[in-house]
Each structure stands twice: as C-alpha cells, then as structure tokens.
A and B are shown apart, each in its own frame.
Chain A
Amino acid sequence: MAIEGADLVKAAAFIGAGLAMGFGAIGPGVGEGFAAGKACEAIGRKPEEAGLLTRTMLVGQAVSESTGIYSLVIALLLLFVV
C-alpha cells in the first residue's frame, strides 16, 4: 500500500479529531457532573435558595463546558478546514 504525503496528512487529521474530541470530553463531563452534584447537595441543605443555586450551577457548568467546546472546534477544524 503506497501512502502519499497528502493522504498521510488527512489520516493524521482524522485520528487527531477523534483524539481531540474523545479526550477533551472527559474533563468537562466530570467537572459539570461534580458541579451539579454539589448543587443538589446545597439545594438539599437549603431548598429555599434553589433558584440561586441552580443559576450558579448553570453558570459554573457553562464555564466548565468551554474546554469541551474548544475540543469540538478543534475537531471540526481538523475535519473540515485543515
């Protein structure tokens, strides 16, 4: 099987996209789950503050999500642009 340079670059981009999204998804998944778990704990302690706690949870998760979105962007760049 003769492998040319351009083919090798494409192949590397595809596997790189898989690696980027795969490993990149681990951190946000765990981090957001941790935030939500702690939010549930806090609501359990103080149910009357549920609104504030849910809002804070969502803001915190949005920040934690950012690295997942970076991974997605890089994966899509590798797939369609590079």
Chain B
Amino acid sequence: MDFDVTTTVKLASYVGAGFCIGLGAIGAALGEGYTAGLANEGNSQDSKRSGEIVKNMLVGQAVAESAGIFSLVIAILLLFLDTGGGSMVKAAAVFAAGLCMGSGAIGSGIGSGYPGGEACLGISRQPAVSGRLTTNMLIGSAVCQTPAIFAMVVALMLMFLDFGKGPVSPTWAALIGAGFSTGMAAIGSGIGGGMAAGASCEGVARNPETVGQVTTTMLVGQAVSQTPAIFGLLVSFILMFKAFPETTSLGPSMALLGAGISMGFGGVGPGIGNGMTAEGAVRWIARNIEAAGTLTRTMLVGQAVSQSTAIYAMVVSLVLIFVV
C-alpha cells in the first residue's frame, strides 16, 4: 500500500492531535475535581466562608486548567497547521508532538489539584490566613505546571523545527523517542510536585506561623521532584539535535525509540516518589517545627535514594543513544 508523504503527515497530525487532547484532558479534570471536592468539604465545615472558598477554588482550578489548555492549543495547531508535506520524518515529528504534550499535561493537571483543594479546606479551618494560603497555593501549583511547560516546549520544537535534513531512518524513531521522554517523565514530576504543594497548604492552615519554613521546604522538595522531568527534557534534546547516520537496519531506530521509552517511563516513579517524600517532610515540619532541620535532611536523603532509579533509566537511555 503506497501512501504519499502529504497524506501520511496529515494522518500523523490528526492521530497526534487526538492523543494530545485525549491524554491532556485527564489530568486537569482529575485535579480540578479534587479541588472542588475539598472545597465542598470546606464549605460544609464553615458555610459562612463559602464565598472566599469558592473564589480560591476557582483560582486554583484555573491554574490546573492551564495544562489542559496547553494540550488544546497544540491539538488545534496539529489540526490546522499547514505542515506542507516535507518528509516522512515530519510525520513522526507531529505525532510525537501530540504524544508529548498529551502525556505531559497529565501530571501537572493532577498535581495542581492538590494545593488547590488543601488551600480551600484550609480557609475553612483558618480564615484569618486565607491570603497566605492562596499565595502558597499559587506558588506551589505554578511549580507543578513546569513539567507541562517542558512538554509544550518539546512539542512546539517537534512541530516547527526542520528535521528534513536527517535521514528518515533512524530520525523518525529519535523524534518519537523524544516525545516519549519528556511527555512521560513529566507525569511523575507533576504529580510529585503537587503532593508537596498540597501538604504545604495543609500545613500552613494548621500552623500559620510555620509558613516561611514550610514554603521553603516545599520548594526544595518540588525542585528535587522536577529532576526526572529535567532528565526527560535532556534526553529529548539529545534525541532531537544529535545527527544520526543513515541506516537501513532496524536496530539503531529501535535503540533510539527505546532510549525515549526508558527515560520517559523511568521518570514517572521517581517523580511521584520524590513528591511523596516531600509531602511527608512538609506536613510534619508544620506540626513539629523544631525538627525542621532533621526532616529536611531526611527528606533529601530519601529523595536521593528514590531518584536513583531515574538515574538508572537515564544511564540506559544514554547507553542506547551513544554506545550501542
């Protein structure tokens, strides 16, 4: 069966657009639902504050929504952009762009829901510090959005850079691998960053005097949670910009695709794990501020161990790209 290039590129854009908004809608919806659920829990505890709680809920949901909007924008671009034929490499690139943005939005959407919900619940518990809670929520959920922004950057690069100079095989596999790498690794970092931010909003509501230490530890914990997404971005950049020699065999293509899959899925677990660790540390710094030093130290040791599997995944990816 012979397809001409223009048809194949169109086909790949449409399938990519479907993946992009289909996957991209998962996270934002889950996160916003969680926020709304906790907002109603707060309403039921202190219905006189409902105006403030609902306002905070909408602000929190708007941040979570942005991951979904990124996916929508990329999907619309994939549908209507004139890709102008090009080569089969372009088909791989547009499909990978959709995959990258779609999966990359899942974690950020879910993650931003945690601080939104905890801040709403916190307002019902400590109405006096609602301003501080909203600020803390916004800082925390802004950090959660970074993995989705990484995914959007990679998706836009895949769509607009000219990869036509590279040989079709194995460049197609490198580009799909680049999409997997950033897209999937962003899931863990988004969720992990959200867990830390949620715990910090809960902690501020419980013990408002600890806000300085709680926010600082949240940011440190979130920064470590972001590293798997950064590893994913690094592997994507290598896959996009390294020049690969033309080949007729399947081996080199599969090595590059495998590199993307390894780093992408390998980043999910450590991202979530680092977030769980930061959640425990932040939650208990708010309850026991005297132990803040020990808790921060233990958090960093625990995160370092959890991080090790992401490093294994990166090593395997780099071996697949540079050695075999």
Contacts and interface: CB of A to CB of B under 8 A. Distances in A.
B89 interface: no
A27 to B, nearest CB: 6
B98 interface: no
B249 A44 contact: no
Interface string B106-128: 00000000000000000000000
Contacts of B188: 29
B305 A22 contact: no
B273 A34 contact: yes
Interface in A1-29: 1-4, 7-8, 10-12, 14-19, 21-29
B306 A32 contact: yes
A21 to B, nearest CB: 4
Contacts of A40: 277, 280-281, 283-284, 295, 298-299, 302
Contacts, number: 218
A57 to B, nearest CB: 6
B255 A30 contact: no
Interface in B269-285: 269-281, 283-285
A34 to B, nearest CB: 5
Given A22-B313, A33-B302, A45-B284, A14 B294 contact: no
Contacts of A21: 262, 266, 312-313, 316-317
Interface string B286-305: 01101100110011011101
B261 interface: yes
A49 to B, nearest CB: 10
B268 interface: yes
A13 to B, nearest CB: 8
Contacts of B284: 40-41, 43-45
B309 A65 contact: yes
A1 B168 CA distance: 12
B203 to A, nearest CB: 11
A44 B217 CA distance: 14
B280 to A, nearest CB: 3
Interface in A51-82: 53-54, 57-58, 61-62, 65, 68-69, 71-72, 75-76, 79-80
Given A1-B169, A26-B268, A36 B273 contact: yes
Contact of A25 (B248, B276, B277, B312): B312
Contacts of A22: 184, 261-266, 313
A29 B303 CA distance: 9
B206 to A, nearest CB: 12
A55 to B, nearest CB: 11
Given A1-B169, A79-B324, A29 B309 contact: yes
12 contacts: A16-B258, A18-B262, A29-B307, A30-B276, A36-B303, A37-B281, A39-B302, A40-B283, A40-B295, A62-B305, A76-B319, A79-B323
Given A36-B299, A65-B305, 15 more contacts: A11-B254, A17-B262, A26-B266, A29-B270, A29-B309, A32-B308, A33-B302, A39-B298, A40-B295, A44-B280, A68-B309, A72-B315, A76-B316, A76-B319, A80-B324
